[in-house]
């Protein structure tokens, strides 16, 4: 009996230990870290290279350079000319792209697993050997300006967010848009991009994440072979540029062609700095889920359905970032309701939580969704790689993932009420309003000769 029980216990222990070994991690001598999560459900892999350099690291006059460099990374090295990177990924049956955020720049390929080695070779090559040809730059900067027109200038809500960030933050670099100000793009040079590349694109400022049907030991060998020879360099000192304390409400208005007004309220709140000791960021995450986590959450139930005050109403908060945090409330008033009425409605929802707290079943519901989402996320290899990368990019080890979930599970109703009382104060609030302008237009139409 005893022996059997012991065996059972050992087996029970062994299973979680084996699971704990995955993901696997290996650091090269040049400082590059490689994280591999094996997932053998399908013969594919996601390969991502993350650089800890985003718009947070930019300075005035060259805003947008992190993102411009991201575009230039596809414009060739001495051994793989312009367009060659995309061509080889395509020939491998892969898909590739890249994205720049405030905190990082990341590159990825999704490929059949047989092609992983080739992708590692290509990424290692452009980590240290980019051409940055001025002729290529002259074309690509035009593409980036078109991207700004498409995604910001002609998108009233994106413009509103951009302007709000510039008011909420006065000193911290989160005040500038990731895409950069148009005037900075117009005056950017290939040298600006080169300076950026030389400053930040080194193995000791990067990490590689691979999720898929791969053998981690083999992947580490390839990493040594391709990334291993790259030279590290000391990184510039990163100044904190802490935002001064806000003492009083800030307001702004943006006029743009639209039909519906938009109210965007943002409160300054903390983010996770110490996974173990912090409490408030986890409570804010649960609060966000209670306000806007599902179709019957408070904003939808009260503001849209019962009061009919809004046609749309949501909340947003990201507890992980290198810079300071904001908790957003955003919505559009129903026809006949003024933006001020919706703002008052948002404030009433917050006041209710400050005064009465949240119900146990609301909190339990948010936690049930959290538990399920931990399973659902395993369905996507790319999603798993993204999660590891986003944590690491803000300085939180991916190994703390489970602990963070436990911390979220441990949030109490009292803690949710406490953060509502502590942070939702006018002194740290910025309110942005989109004032919709009618379109001046008269459509005209003409028949055309058939084209050939």
Partner 1 sequence: MKLFKLFAFLCLGLATQIACAGPKIEHWVAPSGTRVFFVENHALPILDVQIDFAAGTAYDPVGKTGVASMVRSLLEMGADGMDETQIASRMADLGAKLSGGADMDRASVSLRTLSAVDKRVPALDILRAVLASPQFPAETFAREKARTIASLKEALTRPEAIAGRAFWSAMYPGHAYGQQSTPESVAEIGRDDLPAFYRTHYTAARATLAIVGDLSRADAEALAQQLTEGLPAGAGAAPLSDTLLPVAVEQRIAHPAAQAHVLIGLPAIKRGDPDIFPLLVGNYSLGGGGFVSRLMKEVRDKRGFAYSVYSYFHPMALPGPFQIGLQTKKAQANDALKLTREILASFLTEGPSESELKAAKQNLVGSFPLRLDSNRKILENVAVIGFYGMPLDYLETYAENIEKVTVADIKAAFSRHVKPGHLVTIVVAGE
Question: Within positions 306 to 325, which residues make up the interface with partner 1, using CB under 8 A?
Answer: 308, 311
Distance CA 212, CA 429 (A): 43
Minimum CB distance to partner 1 smaller for 204 or for 288: 288
Q: Which is nearer to partner 1, 353 or 429 (CB)?
A: 353
> How many residues of this chain bind partner 1 (CB under 8 A)?
83
Q: Of 38, 58, 70, 84, which is the active-site residue?
A: 70
Least distance from partner 1 to the Cβ atom of residue 368, Å: 5
Site for partner 1 in 386-445 (CB under 8 A): 436, 439-445
As a whole number of angstroms, the distance between CA 149 and CA 259 comes to: 20
Other residues' Cβ atoms within 10 Å of the Cβ of residue 349: 21
Please state the closest distance from residue 358 (CB atom) to partner 1, in A: 14
Is position 111 an interface residue for partner 1 (rule: CB under 8 A)?
yes
Nearer to partner 1, 182 or 418 (CB): 182
Q: For Cα atoms 337, 317, 277, give the angle at the middle one, nearest 5 degrees.
A: 145
- DSSP letter assigned to residue 449: P
- From the list 242, 259, 414, 426, which residue makes contact with partner 1 (rule: CB under 8 A)? 259
Q: Which is nearer to partner 1, 217 or 378 (CB)?
A: 378
Asked about 70 being catalytic, the answer comes back as: yes
HEC profile for 205-272?
A: HEEEEEEECCCHHHHHHHHHHHCCCCCCCCCCCCCCCCCCCCCCCEEEEEEEECCCCEEEEEEEECCC
- Is 242 an interacting residue with respect to partner 1 (CB under 8 A)? no
Selected from 149, 251, 255, 403, the binder of partner 1 by CB under 8 A is: 149
Question: At a CB cut-off of 8 Å and minimum separation 6, what does 270 contact?
Answer: 278, 280, 281, 284, 325, 423
Rounded-to-integer distance, Cα 57 and Cα 380, Å: 31
Whichever of 323 and 436 has its CB closer to partner 1, that residue is 436
Q: Which of 20, 91, 340, 359 is in the footprint of partner 1 by CB under 8 A?
A: 91
356-385 positions binding partner 1, by CB under 8 A: 361, 364-365, 368-369, 371-373, 375-376, 378-381
How many Cβ atoms sit within 10 Å of the Cβ of residue 229? 12
262-269 and 95-100 as β-strands: parallel, antiparallel, unpaired?
unpaired
Residue among 63, 79, 180 at smallest CA distance from 131:
79
Half-sphere exposure of 34 (CA within 13 A, CB side): 24
Q: How far is the CB of 133 from partner 1 (least distance, A)?
A: 13
Q: Does 153 bind partner 1 (CB under 8 A)?
A: yes
Beta bridge partners of 50: 106, 207
Q: Does 134 bind partner 1 (CB under 8 A)?
A: no
Per CB under 8 A, 87 contacts partner 1? yes
Residues 275-294 that bind partner 1 (CB under 8 A): 293-294
Q: In this structure, what DSSP letter does residue 1 have?
A: -
Interface mask (CB under 8 A) for partner 1, residues 40-59, using x and -? Answer: -xxxx---------------
Q: What distance in Å separates the CA atoms of residue 204 and residue 202, rounded to the nearest whole number?
A: 5
452 binds partner 1 (CB under 8 A): yes
Residue 338 interacts with partner 1 (CB under 8 A): yes or no: no
Closest to partner 1 by CB, 22 or 139: 139
Catalytically active residues, by annotation:
70
């Amino acid at each position: 009996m005893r022996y059997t029980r012991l065996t059972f216990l050992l087996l029970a222990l062994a299973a979680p230990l084996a699971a704990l070994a995955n993901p696997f991690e290996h650091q090269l001598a040049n400082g590059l870290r490689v994280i591999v999560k094996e997932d053998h459900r399908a013969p594919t892999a996601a390969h991502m290279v993350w650089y800890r350099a985003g718009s947070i690291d930019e300075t005035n006059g060259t805003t947008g350079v992190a993102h411009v460099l991201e575009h230039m990374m596809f414009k060739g090295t001495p051994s793989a000319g312009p367009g060659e990177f995309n061509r080889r990924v395509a020939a491998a049956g892969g898909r590739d792209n890249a994205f720049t955020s405030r905190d990082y720049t990341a590159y990825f390929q999704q490929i059949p697993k047989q092609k992983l080695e080739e992708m590692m070779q290509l990424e290692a090559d452009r980590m240290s050997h980019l051409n940055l040809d001025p002729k290529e730059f002259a074309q690509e900067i035009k593409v980036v300006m078109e991207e700004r027109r498409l995604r910001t200038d002609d998108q009233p809500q994106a413009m509103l967010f951009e302007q709000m960030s510039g008011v909420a933050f006065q000193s911290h670099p989160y005040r500038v848009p990731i895409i950069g100000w148009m005037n900075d793009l117009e005056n950017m040079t290939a040298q600006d991009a080169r300076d950026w590349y030389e400053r930040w694109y080194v193995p000791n400022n990067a990490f590689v994440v691979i999720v898929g049907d791969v053998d981690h030991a083999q992947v580490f060998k390839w990493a040594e072979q391709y990334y291993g020879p790259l030279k590290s360099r000391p990184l510039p000192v990163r100044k904190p540029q802490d935002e001064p304390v806000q003492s009083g409400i800030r307001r702004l208005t943006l006029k743009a062609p639209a039909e519906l007004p938009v109210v965007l309220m943002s409160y300054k709140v903390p983010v996770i700095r110490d996974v173990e000791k912090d409490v408030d960021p986890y409570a804010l995450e649960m609060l966000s889920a209670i306000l806007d986590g599902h179709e019957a959450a408070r904003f939808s139930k009260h503001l849209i359905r019962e009061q009919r005050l809004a046609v749309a109403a949501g909340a947003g908060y990201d507890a992980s970032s290198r810079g300071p945090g904001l908790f957003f409330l955003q919505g559009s008033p129903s026809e006949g309701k003024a933006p001020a009425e919706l703002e008052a409605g948002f404030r009433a929802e917050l006041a209710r939580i400050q005064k009465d707290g949240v119900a146990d079943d609301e909190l339990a519901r948010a936690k049930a969704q959290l538990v399920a989402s931990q399973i659902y996320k395993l369905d996507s290899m790319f999603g798993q790689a993204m999660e590891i990368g986003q944590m690491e990019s803000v300085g939180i080890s991916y190994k703390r993932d489970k602990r963070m979930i436990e911390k979220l599970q441990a949030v109490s109703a009292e803690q949710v009420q406490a953060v509502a009382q502590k942070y939702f104060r006018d002194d740290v609030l910025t309110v942005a309003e989109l004032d919709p302008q009618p379109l001046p237009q008269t459509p005209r139409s003409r028949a055309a000769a058939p084209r050939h």
